[in-house]
Amino acid sequence: MRMLPNYIRMHRRKHALSQAEVARLVGGVTETAVLRHERFRRQPGLPTAMAYAVLFQVDPRELFAGMVEETERAMLERAEELLESLPPGRLGADLAAKRLFLEQLITSLAL
């Protein structure tokens, strides 16, 4: 099941807050910015995303589940490409560590 990019609106409504109130509590954003974040027209910057998570007292991975899902999918593709691009054969310590890291990353992202 595909996740929504974020669940800001759901949490705002759950706590009966207006967009203006959320903007005031988050700080550094306008009511219009909150609207754009809720409707997926813009992604909040990291400080704003963390402020939303603190405000609603939820893990950022839960609040931005769809964004996390998309980031993981894209990273999995890039990690697989990077692993395939590594030279085969005997490995030096750095290359072995890199290969192991990429294999573990791929395994964790593929779950």
User: Cβ neighbours of residue 86 under 8 Å, at least 6 residues apart?
Assistant: 95, 98, 99, 102
Helix segments in 39-110, DSSP class H: 46-56, 60-63, 65-85, 93-110
Query: What is the structure's pLDDT at 60?
Result: 96
- Residue 86 carries which DSSP code? S
Q: How many whole angstroms separate alpha carbon 75 and alpha carbon 52? A: 24
The series of mean pLDDT values per 10 residues for the chain, 111 residues long, is 89 98 98 97 96 98 95 97 89 90 97 84
The pLDDT, as a whole number, for residue 1 is 66
pTM: 0.85
Look-up: residue for tokens 């967009």?
A: 19
Task: Give the model's pLDDT for residue 3.
Answer: 85
Q: How high is the pLDDT of residue 70?
A: 94
Residue 111 is predicted with a pLDDT of 84
